[in-house]
Amino acid sequence: MNGLQSLSNDLAAAVDRGGRSVFGVNGRARLGSTGVHWRQGLVVTADHTVQVDEEVAITRPDGRSLAARVAGRDPTIDIAVLKVDAPGVEVADVADSDAVRVGHIVLALGSGPRASWGVVSSIGEGRRARSAAGDLFHLDLTLYPGFSGGPLVDVQGRVIGINTSGSSRHWQLAIPAAAVNRVVDELLRRGRIPRAYLGVSTQPVRLPEALRQKLNLDQPTAVIVVEVQSGSPAAAAGLSIGDVIVSLGATRITDPTDLKSALRPDKVGESITASVVRGGEPRDVPVTVGERPRRT
Amino acid sequence: MDTLIDIAELADDLRRVTVEVTDADELLGSGLLWPPGHVVTNAHVVRRPEVTLRLSDGRSLRARVRARDADADLALLSAPGSGVPAATLAEADTVRVGSFVVAVGHPLGVRGALSTGIICAIGPIDRGGRSWIQADLHLAPGNSGGPLADAGGRIVGLNSRAAGPLALAVPMEQVARFVRAGRV
């Protein structure tokens, strides 16, 4: 057998192994998506593909259908976790996603199983790639319709991330397994996935050159606070309308999306420093990240 | 890297069994030298009783359409005297999702072009439709009728059309069934 044939066998074996923990997810009209049996009884999928709030029909690798419940969501990284009773379905072998390098051969799996292959083309490069998930994997492969929420596996069939085309269909991204683990761990620890919040509304704002030089900032933009909700963590911290937030913790804030991304579920209860500009002067404001009250 | 040498050799082997189907210098598509003395291609490639085949060594020969099935999108041509050993088929049970595959053909008139990918799925693309070998591999007009082969150069399907970025090939056992019926 030559090298190519053994590569081919490895790829088919990886699909076989990875596919044993792959579910079909029917959480939206028309197009289904894919999910991964991440921990015993918990199936992870892409949040944007689950448009129902409670019961979701899912399909086991052996084709049998069953009902799952939405156990929690983290829209900031596009992950939803479903609770399911699926004895006999293997739990995915989740690998260390920090070991993934640009150029590694990877496979994207859909339920069926279906598969596409390619390489990791970049990690965390570009605007969209900065997210609450940390550095996302950009993929040089095709995510076919229905592949969102499915596993990105290495040539050994180990899961290194969750694929998503976002809601745009034009992206081939994967959320690293480490970020998915954080969400699942939060769910197991608290029994739910909290939504972190500060209680401010913001708009992007351009930083004048003179101010950037004065404060030694290299970012061209930041966000300006246009509303502070009463009783919110931001109000308690003394943030006020007109404050310009340039960073939150270690995250640079260049637009409102950055702010959302910085507010990961596991930050709830943590005190972080908001670096703001108030009246042209820099100021550090400690804020305790709150949990967004649930709508009743 | 050895694997890359393997791909180059694989492409050379496949080019020998892949013909250009032409008529009056117009490229109609690709064809596969199989079974011995014959060429199989898509029905939509040959819409006339006789065509000219161009072999990879540059020789041309006339070929008559022996059988044509528009529904199956398959055609059998008699092509005696090519002197080229016919292609080898893969065993049906070696065709697995994830397996490495290559396509050889003449997309957009590019002679003997190689595309590589993996088997994405095996089955219908629409519920109740016919079964395809679906490959994660790029095809273009001119690939039709050419071979889809495994990592050992054995033929798994006949490339027939593209569904977006997905290549659809008629599984070789369907082609073999058509040939058995057509040769009489």
ipTM: 0.89
The half-sphere exposure of B174 on its side-chain side, counting CA atoms within 13 A, is 21
Q: Where are the alpha helices (DSSP H) in chain A?
A: 3-19, 177-190, 209-215, 233-237, 256-262
- Beta carbons of A95 and A77 less than 8 angstroms apart: no
- Residue A21 a catalytic site member: no
Catalytic one among A48, A74, A97, A266?
A: A48
- Beta carbons of A156 and A38 less than 8 angstroms apart: no
Predicted local confidence at residue A190, as pLDDT: 87
Token digits for A133? 């998930």
Beta bridge partners of A70: A82
> Which residue of A31, A117, A141, A156 to mutate against B (max B Cβ within 10 Å)?
A117
Residue B183 has pLDDT above 80, yes or no: no
- Classify B142 in phi/psi space as left (phi over 0), alpha (psi -120 to 50) or beta: left
- Residue A104 a catalytic site member: no
Predicted local confidence at residue B184, as pLDDT: 55
> Which residue, A248, A244, A251, A208, is CA-closest to A226?
A244
Positions of chain A with pLDDT lower than 50, given as ranges? 296
Q: Of B6, B117, B166, which has the smallest distance from its Cβ to A2's Cβ?
A: B6
Provide the whole-model pTM: 0.86
Centre a 10 Å sphere on the Cβ of residue B51 and count the other Cβ atoms it contains. Answer: 28
Predicted local confidence at residue B116, as pLDDT: 95
- Classify A62 in phi/psi space as left (phi over 0), alpha (psi -120 to 50) or beta: alpha
In angstroms, rounded to a whole number, what is the distance separating the alpha carbons of residues A78 and A24?
17
Centre a 10 Å sphere on the Cβ of residue A170 and count the other Cβ atoms it contains. Answer: 8
User: What tens digit of pLDDT does each residue of B85-117 get?
Assistant: 999 999 877 789 999 999 999 999 999 999 999
Predicted local confidence at residue A41, as pLDDT: 97
> Which residue of B2, B88, B118, B125 to mutate against A (max A Cβ within 10 Å)?
B118
Predicted local confidence at residue A296, as pLDDT: 46
Whether A156 has its CB under 8 Å from any CB of chain B: the answer is no
User: What tens digit of pLDDT does each residue of B42-87 get?
Assistant: 999 999 999 999 999 999 999 999 999 999 999 999 999 888 999 9
Contact A5 B2 (CB under 8 A): no
Contacts of B150 in chain A (CB under 8 A): 5, 8
Whether A29 has its CB under 8 Å from any CB of chain B: the answer is no
Residue of chain A minimizing CA distance to B137: A116
- Beta carbons of B90 and B172 less than 8 angstroms apart: yes
Centre a 10 Å sphere on the Cβ of residue B132 and count the other Cβ atoms it contains. Answer: 23
Q: Of A2, A13, A116, which has the smallest distance from its Cβ to B120's Cβ?
A: A116
At residue B38, what is the residue type?
H
